[in-house]
Amino acid sequence: MHSLRHRHHLPVWLATLLAPVTLAIVSVPALAAPTPIGHVTHATNGLAKQNLATRYVGGYPQYRIPALAVTTKGTLIAAYDARPSMADLPSHIAVVMRRSTDGGKSWGPQKVIRAAPAPDGFGDPSLLVDRRTGRVFVFYAASVNAGFASSKTGNNPNDPDIQQVDYSYSDDDGLTWHARRITRKVKNPAWGGLFAASGEGIQLRQGPYKGRLIQQYVIRIKGGNYAASLYSDNDGKTWTMGQPVGPGMDENKVVGLANGDVLLDVRAAPRRLFAISHNGGQTWSKPHPVPALVDPGDNGAIIRYAPNAPASNPQSRRLIESNTADPDIRRNLTVRMSCDDGKTWPIARVIEPGSSAYSTLTLLPDGRIGLFYERDGYRHLTFASFSPSWLDGVCAPIKAASPAIMAGSHHVLHVRVSNQTPHTLAAGTLTLQVPFGWTAQAVSVPAITKGHHANIDLPYTASANRIGTLPLTLLYTTAGKHSVLALTASIKRNPTAPTMPSLSVRTVLDHLTAAGATGLPGDVAHYWTRVTNTGNAMLIGITLRGNLQDLSRCRRATLAPGASFLCWRGQHQLTADDRADGRYMPRLTATATTIRGRQLTASIMGQAITFTRPVHLR
């Protein structure tokens, strides 16, 4: 891993964020039974975490797909899939839940919302609360023989080869549930599979469609994936599917804006997609990528920080987003804030730097923010809560162009810092966080009055021996608060620079699967590995070796300077010896040769799986 210079004693969370595509060695919590109800596993600086579901505990080998909502009575409901394996529908999946009546400090036992004898399955829950009636909905897909890709066209609610549109509702704050099927009413018979995008739906708080309930769907139409809004204007008595937008869509969320518009947020790699609806989700503009929201194609979440604030209040334009901020791998779960309805995202903080995946957000009764997410190779579903101040940011977006430069050259970056706060920002500093071998000095930023900006010139020098594309980060700091902007520098080779070949390898846990055994040992750990040419010379004959099996095909004939490749073939079946040792840790070595015959190696110890006490199966 390349070290970073000129961090100026940054907090650990920000230092992690500033290298969004670099995989760090992460210490993984032990495999163990879930924490006791009410026990907080981690609490620091306004952040608290606890596991709500853990593989093999509570009667199911696997838990996935978090959903989270707060009822009108202040009860917090967490719903999720209870699965026999990692497989999606069609599989014998149940939708289960836990409740908290004290804002997430303690949780009741796991209970079933919907289950049926095999082979029936119900999966991908999304909660939706009607704040006019108090009714709580949970939408999910229903399946017998068909999943999303294999579902036939048609809308016969009794056809086992059609993926069905189901929901359950509760009128007693999530204590009891009643199921409904609405396939025939909302599914165009020309469509194939469709399922509710998991997490949480919304109810519009402002505008001409105030009170409308909206639940997002993914729809398969003639081999393409589309996004669409299922909506109701009569408290869920009837539902209408809006016009699908696509293709090229996937799981998606919506958030109501202060002006009455609705913002669509779609998982996509390497950047998430946004679109706008001016009619409450009935139709959508053409989706476009959001430069700040780097994503591997993972399900994230977006909510309004102050959903009831009028448009005249600056807080009405604050949005909070959660997603795994890496272009290739499900890791680095990050929470961000926008102060201008999603146009810029100056505030960001990493909440889970290692293996992490689906996430969903909701506002808690005490003003804190609740986050429910998958982590540690899908071994846990974890609930986190934090105060808005934990984000430690300032509404001061940074604007600068990503540079295209020659290695070893001196440049000046032209930067604009804007003040979106209702007060004057104190004098601060602007720093370009750069890779090893570069130089950049912190530059003073004068005080910025409300609604104004400061133009800053920031000099820097690029390393002579690194070419290709590199991540850079601009950091603005004022009164201990921060805003950030990620840039991607394109660096051409300096013909006068000496040849400096270099290679790096990083790996992260993706998931575990059971291999004919009930728990550990026997589970198979699957890892992602990224090999990168970090020098300025072409490399050939790149191979990957180590104590993971099935690495023989993790090779490349050539790797250009700055280029990388991903391998998802490395795996390891956990053994009794691993357990006796207390952990398993992957150790990998990448090798390559320059055109002139020089050999290179790069090694890494990857994300460990640790054992501290037996896993008690129930």
* DSSP H or E run through 23: none
Residue type, 408: G
Q: Within the chain, how many helices (H) and strands (E) appear?
A: 3, 45
**Phi, psi dihedral angles at 184 (to 5 degrees):** -65, -30
Cβ atoms of 246 and 202 closer than 8 Å: no
Tokens 């194939």 belong to which residue? Answer: 192
Cβ atoms of 477 and 18 closer than 8 Å: no
Q: Write the CA distances from 76 to 16, 72, 139, 407, integer angstroms.
A: 31, 10, 17, 53
Distance CA 458, CA 434 (A): 12
Give every CB contact of residue 152 below 8 A, 6+ residues apart in sequence: 146, 159, 161, 162, 192
Is 88 an annotated catalytic residue? Answer: yes
Cβ atoms of 86 and 511 closer than 8 Å: yes
Give every CB contact of residue 444 below 8 A, 6+ residues apart in sequence: 427, 428, 429, 430
Tokens 């799986």 belong to which residue? Answer: 609
**Phi, psi dihedral angles at 5 (to 5 degrees):** -100, 160
Cβ atoms of 544 and 602 closer than 8 Å: no
Residue 496 DSSP one-character state: T
Task: State the pairing for strand pair 539-546/439-440.
Answer: unpaired
Find the catalytic residue in 63, 81, 88, 378: 88
Is 584 an annotated catalytic residue? Answer: no
Q: Secondary structure of the chain: what % helix, strand, coil (to 5)?
A: 5, 50, 50
> Both tokens of residue 603?
């090694």
Find the catalytic residue in 251, 261, 265, 578: 251
Q: List residues bridging with 277 in a β-sheet.
A: 262
Distance CA 185, CA 17 (A): 46
Give every CB contact of residue 258 below 8 A, 6+ residues apart in sequence: 206, 309, 310, 311, 313, 316, 317, 341
Of the candidates 408, 435, 560, the residue with the CA atom closest to the CA atom of residue 494? 408
Distance CA 26, CA 376 (A): 10
Rg of the Cα trace of the chain? Answer: 25
* DSSP H or E run through 17: helix 12-17
> Both tokens of residue 405?
């430069």
Q: Write the CA distances from 542 to 499, 503, 527, 553, integer angstroms.
A: 18, 10, 18, 11
> Both tokens of residue 583?
């952990």
Is 60 an annotated catalytic residue? Answer: no
Cβ atoms of 152 and 146 closer than 8 Å: yes
- Residue positions annotated with a catalytic role: 88, 251, 358
